[in-house]
């Protein structure tokens, strides 16, 4: 039996990988067989002729997972643009069946799989004769979502918009994690209050600059994962 959750963010670079690293580390440190998966990664680094999926490598390193990062990402593109565009440039279109197969393979290897999205919630993965959006992956894998958001000015707007968009597609956002949070900043504290008020979704953790531990109860964290 495996459990899983999908991590998305209000934008690219908001800290999905950073926060996912802390989540997977928390699970791994408590003795859980924790894994990571990402359907499509663009902006991979070429090292000694090998394309390295940087997000997967980062999470494995931080959490102490002994796995080749290449095994945790279905599509690895070097071009640092949206996956649909990288796929067109590199002539390697995304096939949803490969994503399902790879995810199923990981299900037999890991107990708790944390799946990271690409970009924000509106992220095209394929646009040609077929259209595949990131939200199609969330729905096909039947996952709920943890939303990583910023704590800075503008976050009320981007958080509420993302939650409303998810709702429109019947995607369930279970929890919010605020990144770059400063407990002494009155605006960050107010942003947390307003985000909870306007979305009705709990902020389960705040993550400060260079945080090394996710301050959340492990039982509560595990409860967010859905059996798949």
- By CB under 5 A, tell whether 55 contacts Mg ion: yes
Q: With respect to ligand ATP, which residue has the nearer C-beta, 111 or 208?
A: 208
Q: Judged by CB under 5 A, does residue 17 bind Mg ion?
A: yes
Question: Taking the complex as a whole, how short is the minimal distance between the CB of residue 7 and ligand ATP, in angstroms?
Answer: 8
Residue partners of 177: CB distance under 8 A and separation at least 6? 19, 146, 147, 148, 149, 203, 204, 205, 206, 207, 214
* 71, 61, 20, 220: CA torsion to nearest 10: 110
Q: Does 77 bind ligand ATP (CB under 6 A)?
A: no
Q: Do 226 and 4 contact (CB within 8 A), yes or no?
A: yes
Of positions 2, 3, 4, 16, contacts Mg ion by CB under 5 A:
16
Residue 55: exposure state from Cβ atoms within 10 A (0-12, 13-18, ≥19): buried
Q: Which is nearer to Mg ion, 18 or 110 (CB)?
A: 18
To the query of whether residue 38 is one of the catalytic residues in this protein, the response is yes
Does residue 211 bind ligand ATP (CB under 6 A)?
Answer: yes
List the beta bridge partners of residue 114.
5, 36
Q: Does 147 bind ligand ATP (CB under 6 A)?
A: no
Applying CB under 6 A, does 13 fall inside the site for ligand ATP? yes
**Chain CA centroid to CA 169, Å:** 18
**Rule CB under 6 A: which residues touch ligand ATP?**
9, 12-18, 55, 119, 179-180, 207, 209-211
**Rule CB under 5 A: which residues touch Mg ion?**
16-17, 55
Cite the active site residues. Answer: 38
């Amino acid at each position: 039996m495996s459990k899983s959750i999908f991590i998305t963010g209000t934008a690219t670079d908001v800290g999905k990988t950073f926060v996912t690293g802390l989540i997977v580390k928390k699970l791994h440190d408590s003795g859980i067989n924790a894994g990571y998966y990402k359907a499509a990664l663009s902006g991979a680094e070429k090292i000694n002729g090998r394309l390295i999926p940087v997000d997967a490598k980062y999470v494995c390193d931080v959490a102490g997972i002994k796995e080749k990062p290449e095994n945790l990402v279905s599509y690895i593109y070097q071009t640092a643009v949206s996956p649909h565009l990288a796929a067109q440039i590199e002539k390697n279109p995304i096939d949803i069946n490969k994503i399902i197969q790879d995810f199923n393979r990981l299900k037999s290897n890991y107990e708790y799989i944390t799946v990271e999205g690409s970009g924000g919630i509106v992220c095209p993965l394929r646009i040609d004769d077929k259209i595949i959006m990131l939200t199609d992956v969330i729905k096909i894998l039947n996952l709920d979502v943890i939303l990583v958001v910023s704590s800075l000015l503008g976050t009320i707007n981007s958080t509420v918009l993302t939650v409303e968009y998810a709702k429109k597609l019947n995607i369930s956002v279970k929890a919010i994690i605020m990144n770059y949070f400063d407990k002494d900043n009155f605006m960050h504290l107010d942003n947390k209050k307003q985000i909870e008020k306007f979305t009705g979704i709990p902020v389960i953790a705040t993550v400060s600059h260079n945080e090394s531990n996710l301050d959340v109860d492990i039982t509560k964290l595990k409860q967010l994962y859905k059996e798949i």
